[in-house]
Chains A and B, each alone.
Chain A
Amino acid sequence: MKDYSELKNQLSGLEDKLKKYREVLLANLVMIGEIPAPTGKEDNRIQFILNRFDEAGLTDSSIDDAGNGIGVLSGKESENALLLNAHADTIFDMKTDHTMQVASNEIMGPGVADNALGLAALVSLPYILEDLKIELKNDLVLLAGVKSLGRGNLEGIRFFLENNKFDIKNAICIEGIQLGRLSYSSIGMLRGEITCRVPETYDWSRFGDASAILTLNEVINKINDIRLPKRPRTSVVMGSIVGGSSFNTIARDATLGFEVRSESQEVVEKTGDTINDIVLEVSSKTGDQIELDIFAMRSPGGIPFAHPLTKCARSVMETLDIEPRLSPSISELSALIDQKIPALTLGITVGEQTFKSNETIQIEPIYKGLAQLIGTILAVDGGYCE
């Protein structure tokens, strides 16, 4: 077992020291959070982040061909690189009012937790490390990744991982919430949409029973009847439903957004096949057009619980009195796992109302969350995780 005492010394009092940077961090959070960045339209937000990297004197900062914002904090030895990643896109569209409200203990606004806070931590870090006179041996590559969510399907980070010039040995993904989150593995996932349409040529004399919503309901019932195994753990998430146009018009179309998640790739694929069969069956019975569009898949994988990187992170958390909550992830971590890069996802603070326009985060736990992030960086940089 590696001796963590020197690392623990470095962590002692760090949480308190970080309180000094409250305004710097929160100002970044508010300014980033107020720039709308729906998936695929992150340009303005990325430009702001780049300006911050430039101001912090990161000479190598740039926007890559996929639109990702990249900053590099060069290390003293610059042999290897540690990648810090925060996704830049949100689920909120351009028209949403992105105003952030700051109260004494909390900040509220759409996307404040997912992932304005993660990005704020990313862009504030060079300023904080410099002010704390923390010099790293290895390069710290800061990535604000685009097109991560939904149909984006991790396009930004995948492009970066396939095309970058760095020798990335480890990676940390930063999410705004929840503090204590420790993800080191990815589960298998399949994400798609099922769209039902009543054809234009439909026989409208069949009064009353022609509705895309009813057809979709049939599909949902059948998916719900799929027998899923308890081991490996598997679930189908019915995530969203959109359909119809008014009270008194029969719905011409209806769409279900869903995700299949499982610890086993085989079960994910099998469940996907079953859903495809259901779609064909309901379509032939009703005569409606039903389309299945699967646009994202993840393979299960990751590092083991006993991997030195996970151990390091747990040790840092323990020192800072953070209770680790282990959970698999299907976000950017999966892209890193696919590239065989040992990686973790950490949360910065606690929050609630995620994905709603009144998404809220607590200010006070942020210092602990940041100390955890810096502690883990120091652990990786100090060779504790090899």
Chain B
Amino acid sequence: MTEDIVSNLQNWIDKNTYHHSEFWDLKKLVEAKKKKNLTISLCLPTLNEEKTIGKELIIFRSELVERYPLIDEIAVIDSGSEDKTLEVAKNFGADTYLASDILPNLEPKRGKGENLWKAIYQLKGNIIVYVDADISNIHPRFVYGLVAPLIYREEVKYVKAFYDRPLAFSGNVRPSGGGRVTEILVRPLFSLFFPDLTAIIQPLSGEYAVRREVLEQIAFPIGYGVETSHLIDVYHKFGLEAFAQTDLDKRVHENKPTQALGKMSFGILQTFIKRAKALGVFEKAEHETLLRQFQAKRDQYEQNLIEIVEEERPPMIEIEEYRKKFKK
């Protein structure tokens, strides 16, 4: 049984894991997009991102609107920045919205998930690609690498980014995967309750491209849990085959302190437990002892299965010899 899962997952990984360089031919990509009559909206959720937003807009507009018309709409959806984020974004030609102005009849909530959710209402494209606005090494690959599998393969509905390619490593095999919260919290949780989802190398990456038909059918936690809930909900409704993932090389952004990761983990856990309960997966996990991590051999990714059996001893008082010795 376990062997089947492993081989299925490896097949899935081989078939659905891309590197952005496979999609370098933007002319071909734009032609394919036109042929399939697709429209693509780029959503940049922001909160105080004046330092990086200008550069993202310049690069996306130059490369993916002016030179190669891949994106039909670029929108910045802001949570109420106190710096010049919106001024800079407007200046560089983005459509700018305050999240609270979209669907004004609903009680406003504040969080990245709120902006992503409202983008579905506000933006027109039948594919929406979300890219965080705090990336300092921005490059067009952050968009084309994610939308390309949706353009070329109709069965793919949700494409997730992952980041690899360390600048230097020794030996043939290197550990590969997500950040601290992914490896400490999400991967162990998925290993226990949703083993299939461990095939997603970086479940918490903030960059993904999704078809509207999927987005309109899933709920959006407004805080830290949005990426985790997406994976569980899309998996539940459409299966693992709906996913693909693209290696976008390196992503440079500010590192978060451990305390901030604690907050993030707490939010993710809440979202996770709600879904695990609703889907009744808690009981299924009782005999699961395999932790699924990732390793990469050159350009090949494979799962690394580690058996971890947490055996237990009973309270000493239950041991007869103990009771005799201490006359209890």
Contacts and interface: CB of A to CB of B under 8 A. Distances in A.
- The finding on whether chains A and B are genuine partners in a shared complex, rather than unrelated, reads yes
Contacts of B122: none
A53 to B, nearest CB: 14
**Best-surrounded residue of B52, B54, B59, B139 (most CB of chain A within 10 A):** B54
Interface string B41-80: 0000000001110110111011101110000000000000
B62 A103 contact: no
Interface stretch (A23-31, A182-190, A308-316): A23-31
Given A23-B61, A24-B66, A24-B67, A100 B55 contact: yes
A99 B54 CA distance: 13
Interface string B134-150: 00110100000000000
A23 B92 contact: yes
Contacts of B59: 27, 30-31
B254 to A, nearest CB: 12
B109 interface: no
Given A23-B61, A27-B58, A34-B137, A104 B91 contact: yes
Given A30-B55, A100-B55, A103-B50, A24 B137 contact: no
Given A103-B88, A104-B84, A104-B91, A26 B136 contact: no
A30 B57 CA distance: 12
**Best-surrounded residue of A27, A30, A34 (most CB of chain B within 10 A):** A27
Q: From DSSP, what is the main secondary structure of chain A's interface residues?
A: helix
Contacts of A24: 62, 66-67
A26 B93 CA distance: 13
Interface string B157-183: 000000000000000000000000000
A284 interface: no
A103 B58 contact: no
B61 A102 contact: no
Contacts of A28: 62
A99 B92 contact: no
A217 interface: no
A101 interface: yes
Interface string A67-93: 000000000000000000000000000
B91 A30 contact: no
Contact of A103 (B54, B65, B67, B137): B54
A132 to B, nearest CB: 14
Contacts of A100: 55
B14 interface: no
B87 A102 contact: no
B189 to A, nearest CB: 35
Given A23-B93, A31-B59, 15 more contacts: A23-B62, A23-B65, A24-B67, A26-B58, A27-B62, A30-B55, A30-B59, A31-B139, A99-B137, A100-B55, A102-B92, A103-B84, A104-B87, A104-B91, A127-B67
24 contacts: A22-B58, A23-B58, A23-B62, A23-B66, A23-B92, A26-B58, A27-B62, A27-B63, A30-B55, A30-B59, A34-B137, A99-B136, A99-B137, A99-B252, A101-B54, A101-B55, A102-B54, A102-B58, A102-B88, A103-B50, A103-B88, A104-B54, A104-B88, A127-B67
